[in-house]
Amino acid sequence: MKLVFRKALVALSLLALASCKQETPPPSRPNIVFIMSDDHAYQAISAYSNHLIETPNIDRIAKMGMLFTNATVTNSICAPSRATILTGKHSHLNGKVDNHFPFDTTNVTFPQLFHDAGYQTAMFGKLHFGNNPKGFDQFKILPAQGVYYNPVFITKNEGEITVPGYTTDIITDMTLDWLEKERDKEKPFLLMYLHKAPHREWLPAERHLEEFTQRTFPEPSTLFDDYSGRGRAAKEAEMNLLKHMNWAGDSKLYPEVMDELGIPDASGWDKAAFQREVGRLDSSQRANWDKYYRPINEAFKKSYASMSEEDLMRWRYQRYMQDYLGTIKAVDENVGRVLDYLEANNLMENTIIVYTSDQGFYLGEHGWFDKRFVYDESFKTPLLVAWPGKVKAGTKNNEMVQNLDFAQTFLEAAGIPAPTDMQGESLIPLLTGNTEKWTRDAVYYHYYEYPSVHMVKRHYAIVTKEYKLTHYYFDTDEWELIDRMKDPQELKNVYDDPAYAEIRAELHEKLDGLRKKYGDNSEISQRYLDEYLDHLEKTRQFGGANKEVTEKILENRKK
Ligand code: SGN
Ligand code: CA
């Protein structure tokens, strides 16, 4: 591969030499600015819909380029999504099927290929791999999930550092600093700028507390979903705003107020989660924080006794949206700072700018928060791509693209050959208006992390523009068929409806085909399952999983 590439480079430079006489400069390879946030729902980007928040800066990318309305992930959870992005492979092949085990660094990642091909490479923010990224000239990353205030960073050259301030601002400062002071102007660059926000526990920047703690947001129509019409997976998931959110860690009730009201620490780590984030604030940050959250706590204390379950659900939804969307405000402002820098430094012309998230997120739809399911809000992810001169401004695309496709897209744009075992498809035809070259009509999904926090069962699925066929397996064996056109809210399983018999058979066949094509099968799933359960048995660390259910699973295993 490398040799072929080098020969191609030599040929290119000879061509360039020859054309020098006519004074046409050689085509230069594009820079790549890959912006990714963590858990950013497309419902919370105004380029998709402005019913919750305005994000004028993120929207600039769509105005300059293309908005993908059908972008999805192959496995809706953090580290696996990142592994798929970097390797261009489904989880079962890159080995990062869940958040538990570290990423296998013998995988070939696209940044390594960029580095080998002469690009300058840098990464700032959240990676969540359990080890350091390979192929980077510079990196400053958050350990594990990171925190919102006064964060610690693992750095390539300075070891561990603690930086005072707000994490979203700091990641951006590091990014701009690198662009200004470390960028080698002789080389093209690959910059990965990766936000922690808006990941749980959702702490907005001090400057946004006043505005966001006072706003009221429209409720989704499925806030009170009772999960009838779907199977055990939806019913047994622990992502309900009323039943499973932490009162202190998430809704920001002070632990002493929980005690006063007799609200138990049901998750067993609620108060610790509060302490982990709010406990980090310095005295001035804390004073400012108390200014807005103490009155919320006082008001809640007064009304709690008279609130119905419905009132409590509504209260929790508003609290959730205030904090979640508050953190996005800072992401948007900071994306604006980076775009401004690129503009002011003539870097727009030859730069591909991507904005995406590691997956989508529930903002109260189905009564939920978190992700994991193949249902739209977490299966889909925002994707906005600008490449001035190459991608037509203000365009929309509804093809079924995936995080699986990024590696090959960037490699093609840079003229670097992609390893033949990568499984995505380059988006360059879609980006450049050659849509007839795009043939994909179905995508494959596989989620593994169960039993674990939020208790979403293992499942794999085929998704076409019209249908979703899902198999929930392991401690259940249920099939679900969703008619996406007739039932966009995904409330009714029509798998056993005779009217769908034909389409069901067709989808089964197609799903088998996709599993073959990507090399997934039940033996591989069983291997990952065994490895995971062995680990739970050995460590007894259930990481937020329902203890009773997990104990029972382990008990049954012995039989
Ligand atoms: C933490 C969160 C969960 C979340 C996982 C995975 N709890 O455990 O709500 O689903 O991370 O998120 S927290 O209170 O500790 O934040 S992911 O984005 O890393 O996949
Ligand atoms: Ca995430």
Q: Which tens digits make up the pLDDT trace of 364-392?
A: 999 999 999 999 999 999 999 999 999 99
Cα 501 to ligand 1 centre (Å): 38
CB count, 10 Å around CB of 432? Answer: 15
The whole-chain average pLDDT of the chain stands at 95
**Predicted confidence (pLDDT) at residue 10 exceeds the cutoff of 60:** no
When pLDDT is cut at 50, 70 and 90, the band that residue 559 belongs to is: confident
Stretch among 82-86, 338-342, 541-545 having the lowest mean pLDDT: 541-545
Cis status, amide bond into 201, omega within 30 of 0: yes
Q: What is the pLDDT of residue 184?
A: 97
In the DSSP assignment, the letter for residue 489 is T
**Predicted confidence (pLDDT) at residue 9 exceeds the cutoff of 80:** no
Looking from the CA of residue 99, the nearest atom of ligand 1 is 20
**Predicted confidence (pLDDT) at residue 76 exceeds the cutoff of 90:** yes
* Mean pLDDT, residues 115-143 taken together: 97
Residue nearest to atom 19 of ligand 1 (CA): 78
Task: Quote the percentage of the chain above a pLDDT of 90.
Answer: 94
The predicted-structure confidence for 253-265, as pLDDT tens digits, reads as follows 999 999 999 999 9
**Predicted confidence (pLDDT) at residue 300 exceeds the cutoff of 70:** yes
Cα 324 to ligand 1 centre (Å): 14
Residue nearest to atom 8 of ligand 1 (CA): 453
Looking from the CA of residue 454, the nearest atom of ligand 1 is 10
Of residues 546 and 19, the one with the higher pLDDT is 546
CA torsion through residues 160, 165, 171, 172, sign: negative
Cα 228 to ligand 2 centre (Å): 28
Cα 82 to ligand 2 centre (Å): 9
Q: What is the pLDDT of residue 382?
A: 98
Which ligand minimizes its atom distance to the CA of 249? 1
Q: Which of 34, 512, 479, 545 is nearest to 231 (CA)?
A: 479
Residue-by-residue DSSP string for 495-544: TT-GGGHHHHHHHHHHHHHHHHHHT--HHHHHHHHHHHHHHHHHH---TT
Looking from the CA of residue 358, the nearest atom of ligand 1 is 18
When pLDDT is cut at 50, 70 and 90, the band that residue 8 belongs to is: very low
Q: What is the pLDDT of residue 21?
A: 42
* Mean pLDDT, residues 273-285 taken together: 98
Cα 200 to ligand 1 centre (Å): 6
Cα 453 to ligand 1 centre (Å): 8
Looking from the CA of residue 200, the nearest atom of ligand 1 is 16
The predicted-structure confidence for 488-505, as pLDDT tens digits, reads as follows 999 999 999 999 999 999
In the DSSP assignment, the letter for residue 28 is P
CA distance 62 to 47: 7
Residue nearest to atom 17 of ligand 1 (CA): 78
Contacts of 302 (CB under 8 A, 6+ apart): none
Residue nearest to atom 7 of ligand 1 (CA): 200
Q: Which residues does ligand 1 sit against, CB inside 6 Å?
A: 38-39, 77-78, 99, 128, 145, 199-201, 249, 273, 370, 453-454, 544
Pocket test for ligand 1, best of 199, 320, 403, 454 (most atoms within 8 A of CB): 199
Residue nearest to atom 2 of ligand 1 (CA): 200
Q: What is the pLDDT of residue 27?
A: 62
* Mean pLDDT, residues 223-236 taken together: 98
Q: Which of 542, 523, 534, 557 is nearest to 92 (CA)?
A: 523
Looking from the CA of residue 201, the nearest atom of ligand 1 is 16
Looking from the CA of residue 372, the nearest atom of ligand 1 is 10
Cα 331 to ligand 2 centre (Å): 15
Which ligand minimizes its atom distance to the CA of 145? 1
Domains of the chain and CATH, by start: 37-202+331-442 (3.40.720.10), 210-320 (no CATH), 446-558 (3.30.1120.10)
The predicted-structure confidence for 405-418, as pLDDT tens digits, reads as follows 999 999 999 999 99
**Predicted confidence (pLDDT) at residue 56 exceeds the cutoff of 70:** yes
The predicted-structure confidence for 441-489, as pLDDT tens digits, reads as follows 999 999 999 999 999 999 999 999 999 999 999 999 999 999 999 999 9
**Predicted confidence (pLDDT) at residue 116 exceeds the cutoff of 60:** yes
Contacts of 117 (CB under 8 A, 6+ apart): 5, 414, 416
When pLDDT is cut at 50, 70 and 90, the band that residue 22 belongs to is: very low
Q: Which of 270, 35, 155 is nearest to 143 (CA)?
A: 155
Cα 454 to ligand 1 centre (Å): 9
Q: Whose structure tokens read 């261009």?
A: 88
For residue 398 the two structure tokens come to 């509804």
Task: Quote the percentage of the chain above a pLDDT of 70.
Answer: 95
The predicted-structure confidence for 534-555, as pLDDT tens digits, reads as follows 999 999 999 899 999 999 999 9
CA distance 18 to 282: 62
Cα 437 to ligand 2 centre (Å): 32
Q: What is the pLDDT of residue 407?
A: 98
Q: Whose structure tokens read 């037509």?
A: 392
